[in-house]
Chain A
Amino acid sequence: MVPRRYQSAWNHYVLTGWDMEYVTEIVGNKGYIKIEGDLDSEQSGEALRKAFNQVYDQGKRTIILDLSGVQIINSYGIGKILMCYKRLKADNGALMVKPLQGFVKETFELLMLDKLLPQDE
């Protein structure tokens, strides 16, 4: 499977197809990761890990996840998010989320993750 490659206005690469990557952006001292599709598989978890490392390695310790494009999240996806949270916490950093909606919001509230991960308005 040949990955398609194109350049976005956010000055980064997005590969679709075989290799999944999430869009990242740096604005000031914050890093943003936009997650598309469901966060419920090894592939999506690996993509999150890579995107997180990409932002983290640029020295950003306040990282915001945009989950507005996520329909389904399961315990695996939540576990991956919490790994990011713990890594930042160990560095006195913070993991935040863009305002949540739908099924993801329900799941976060159910597991009280909305108390752990503040919203970035």
Chain B
Amino acid sequence: MIRPTRRRVLQGLLGTAGALSLAPTLARAATPDDRRFVLLVLRGGMDGLGAIPAHGDPDYREARGAAALPQPGQQDGVVDLDGQFGLHPALGGLLPMWERGHLAIVHATSLPYGARSHFDAQDLLENGTDRPFGAATGWLNRALSASGAPVTAMAMGRGVPLVLRGPSPVTAADPLREQRLGPDLLERIEDLYRGDPLLEPALRAGLRTQDMLATARTSTRLRRADTESAAGVIGGLIAHAEGPRVAVLELSGWDTHTSQDRVLGRQLEAVAGALTGLQEAMGAVWGRTLVLAVSEFGRTVAANGTGGTDHGTAGAVLLAGGAVAGGEVFGRWPGLARRQLVAERDLAATTDLRSVFKGVLAGHLGVREGPLEDDVFPGSREAPPLEGLVRG
């Protein structure tokens, strides 16, 4: 009886097992210079060393074993960036961004956490404190509150991820779903809701978002049911004059315990697609946008016995957008010799991930030091903001 049917604009995005799920969450805030910020949460522990191979490290090939990629110049080889680091070939589409200075990387970075549990680490990634379940709100929501300007946050997708939960009001919408309510029913409902303090404003905001999304959808050439097209719709929404200023996208499927060569390649293609899709859809607004892609932890340096890698510690973070001071790999490289690894298995962290968040929030969204240290990232004095990530 009560079985809803959901027709999606982009079929197949969630079709196959292990496929990618894109559930964007958006927030509108008054941001300095009308900037845009997109947080891309990669759930499952992305292999940072796989995405950004340190092919120039003398121990790279031996340490990675079966997980090592062919050298630059070889077939399916690493796409070199600066002689020391490169891109996984599936991220090759981002090379133009790197060359234009719109792509940066922070490598060997992790949360202050080493127990390798997805559940705990993802919570820590989003709560902004120094321990899992340390807060019921997220650092990004708290940062929006700290910005001072009135914030109406729009969340898109099924739920609001922790990072966007908190005192700043968050609303929800799904950009991939067309609103299918007939005009007659809608009109009658609007009548019924008139004067209702909860339902009327929510309905009105929902319909307004749907209108903006419809515009974004028609202007995005939906070639295939893929992440790039989905990102295009979201990009169009964010770039819209009345659209949200802050967005959170989620991509899962990174937990590559087996068959990493196949799975990681597909995942990274989607990331490249998401970033280029956003760039294309946002047009001039890309110039004042910063996209930050993070994962809860990295993976083991060496391959395991099933063609994959296991949960690790430090990983890599990507920053993309016109607001990025790009063309550089930030962070001190700890090395891949066995004695340089954590427990002889994981890449060691030389930058606290919170330093990256703080550097972006301060440099791009103008969040002041006081609130940043006291409210947004309490207990993080030992992780100073990472400078130089944001242009200007």
User: Are chains A and B native binding partners rather than an unrelated pairing?
Assistant: no
Binding site for B on A (CB under 8 A): none
Binding site for A on B (CB under 8 A): none
